Structure formats: C-alpha cells, structure tokens
Amino acid sequence: MKTKLLTQNEIEIAARLIAGGELVAFPTETVYGLGADAMNADAVRAIFTAKGRPADNPLIVHISDFDMIYQVAREVPEIAVRLAKAFWAGPLTMVLPKRSEIPSVTSGGLDTVGIRMPSHPIARELIRLSGCPIAAPSANRSGKPSPTTAKHVMDDMNGRISAVIDGGLCEVGVESTVICFDDEKTIHILRPGIISQEDLQPFAEYVYVDKAVYSQIAPDAKVASPGMKYKHYAPKAKIIPIETDDFSKFMDYVQSHANVNTWCLLFDSDPEPENVSFMRYGDNGREQAHFLFLRFRELDEHGADTVYVRCPRKDGTSLSVYNRLMRAAGFEVITI
C-alpha cells in the first residue's frame, strides 16, 4: 500500500477514504490521530493491526459537534455536559457508557467509550465530511512517542495506512486528558493532559488522579484505563530523569556517567553545559508538553543512547509531561 500525503486542501479525499473503511492519519491540537470510521468494526480492527496495538486497549471516538455525543454514549450525565461546555472543543476525553451501535473492538471490549471533540479545524472538518464519528488513537507504532508532525506519522506508518493529512506541528504536543466519573460529584483522571486537575476542580466536589499516573502498574493488574499498563512513549534511547533543584548536581551526575552518545534534555533557563550534547524543552508545563515528543524523536535521529532529563514539576499542566517522561523511563528516576 502506498501512503498518500495530503494537504489541508484535500480533506474531502481523506473523508471519502474514511467513509470507505480506510485508515487516514490527521492532525489534532494534541498529537496526530490514526482515524477510521468508529462504527465500522473491520476498519477499526485495521487500526490495531497498523499500530501493533494490544486489542484490549480502547480507542477514543472523535466527534465534530456536541450532539454527536448521543450517537456514541448511551448516557450523558449532567457533569459531562457542563465539562463539554467548558472544555470542548479541546483536549479533554470523557469516558461514558457506550451505545450498542459502537462495535466492541472500538472500545477494547469495554462497555464504556472515550469521547472527545478536538478543536483542530482539520480534525473537525474531516469528521464532518466523513459523516461518522472517527475512532483514533495516536498515530504512532505502539510503544513509540506520539507523533506531532506528519513526518513522524510517515516514519512510523508509511505503507501501512491509506493517507496522512499534513497539518504541520501540533500545538499541545501531549495527548488529551482522559477522565471518567465515579459518580456525579467525582472526576477520576485516568491520563493527565494540559487540562489539569486544578482546571477541573471547579466542576466537581472531588477530582483525583489515578495512581497509575505516578507509578508502575503490574502487567496483570486490573486498571481503570488499559492504556496505563503498557510501556509507552519511549524513544530508542534510554531515558533517565533526574530529580533535583540544583542544576550543578544534575550536571555533576551526568558528567560522571557520560559516554560518547550521552545527551541531556534541559530546561531553557539552564546554563549551557560543557562537554556533553544537549537539547532544551522549555521552562514550564505548556512548553515542555509541546516539545517533549518532538525532542524524543530528534534524539533518536541523533543516535543518542542515553538521555538524562531535567525532571518537570508534578503539578498543573506539568503532570502530563512528568507522566509521559516516567512512562518513557519505565518509572525509574534518580533523585539527588
């Protein structure tokens, strides 16, 4: 199969492919998604094959306007309506009871389904023109960092899918915040994104973050969100986060462990290090989210074998970056 690279003026071609049961990758404000008609079980099965994704890891169903939620969800609680008004279109995914019309392959066999209305105009137009909700995981091969450019998608998926729409670099850079509701008063954060716990707090009595966000889950453990148990987001290089307030301690550690292909991933405000290759990824959560996956892929292109990373904060937007970094590092961190 030859993978077509489409421009943003060719969304109609992409929509016809989706409607015909084929796979098309497209930009969203978070990362590129690998889309198929969410109601077409064969098309959705092809997503799992193209990605090499475990069949029990459910997909997010993308919609282009609020009313489409009723084609996907069996029940929509008041709290979900309030959150949709506040955060859609945007990087928030809500897990709700699924309608029986949604094939069980889409939801990884669960009777719930993750739903999101992306804000990216290309994504919205693609859904609208396709005439169906679009199931889309991130468009990387399973285990690799999520793609934030069309080139990343091509690097992983060329020859495996029908087309990619090139929408340039994604703005947010990490995947959406995924939540479910334990009840009308309680928001349970399954995966942190740039919509933070603090942002969600005004909408519920309790907002809590699943423990799998901070620590390793045994592969056979029962988890609220299957995606959390798989190793993820990892470049080929070994990622070693170092937690310290003191840049000189960070550099001392790196200098005493460095070899030829050792790199550092630093904050923008850090001084320039001597005798070691480095990249920077911003100073705050928003910037670090934007750059993290991009830097992972660049580090691989440079042949990095070990990368020591300045550890992001764990609050607000930064938690999304901390979580991706920990997953890339297998939750091993050096604290100095």
Residues in contact with Mg ion by CB under 5 A are 138
At 302, list the tokens.
């440079």
Burial class (CB in 10 A: 0-12, 13-18, 19+), 116: buried
Nearest approach in angstroms of CB 203 to ligand TXA is 19
With CB under 6 A as the contact rule, the residue among 138, 148, 318, 323 that binds ligand TXA is 138
Residue 125 or 156: which CB sits closer to Mg ion? Answer: 156
**Which range binds ligand TXA by CB under 6 A, 30-38, 194-202, 245-253, 283-291?**
30-38
- Told to check if 191 binds ligand TXA by CB under 6 A, we report yes
- Whichever of 58 and 264 has its CB closer to ligand TXA, that residue is 58
Report the distance separating Cα 253 and Cα 263, nearest Å: 13
C-alpha dihedral sign at 159, 15, 31, 78: negative
Binding mask 35-54 for ligand TXA (x = CB under 6 A): --------------------
Q: Is 226 near ligand TXA (CB under 6 A)?
A: yes
Please report how close the Cβ of residue 237 comes to ligand TXA at its closest, in angstroms.
21
CA dihedral 157, 159, 162, 167 (to 10 degrees): 40
100 is written with which tokens? 């029986």
Is 176 a binder of ligand TXA (CB under 6 A)?
A: yes
Q: Which of 133, 137, 173, 282 binds ligand TXA (CB under 6 A)?
A: 137
In which region does residue 125 sit, left (phi positive, over 0), alpha (psi from -120 to 50) or beta (all else)?
A: alpha
130 touching ligand TXA, by CB under 6 A:
no
For ligand TXA, give the closer residue by CB, 95 or 311. Answer: 95
CB of 84 to ligand TXA, least distance (A): 15
Partner whose footprint covers residue 127, from ligand TXA, Mg ion, none (CB < 5 to 8 Å by kind): none
Write down the least CB distance from residue 225 to ligand TXA, Å: 3
Q: Does 178 bind ligand TXA (CB under 6 A)?
A: yes
- For residue 257, the one-letter residue type is H
Crossing angle for the helix pair 11-19 and 121-130, nearest 10 degrees? 50
**In the complex, least distance from residue 28 CB atom to ligand TXA, rounded to whole angstroms:** 5
Give Cβ neighbours of residue 139 (< 8 Å, ≥ 6 apart): 25, 31, 32, 33, 34, 146, 147, 153, 156, 157, 164
30 within 8 A of 176, measured Cβ to Cβ: yes
Give the amino acid at 255.
Q
> Does 147 participate in binding ligand TXA (rule CB under 6 A)?
no
DSSP 147: P
Crossing angle for the helix pair 285-301 and 318-328, to the nearest 10 degrees: 30
Q: Least distance in Å: CB of 55 to Mg ion?
A: 15
Least separation in angstroms between residue 53's CB and Mg ion is 8
Residue choice 192, 227, 235, 241 for contact with ligand TXA (CB under 6 A): 227
Kindly give the pairing relationship between strand 306-310 and strand 262-266: parallel
Are 123 and 33 contacting, i.e. CB atoms less than 8 angstroms apart? Answer: yes
Which positions touch ligand TXA (CB under 6 A)? Answer: 28, 30-31, 33, 57-60, 91, 93, 95, 107, 110, 112-114, 116, 118, 136-138, 175-176, 178, 190-191, 225-227
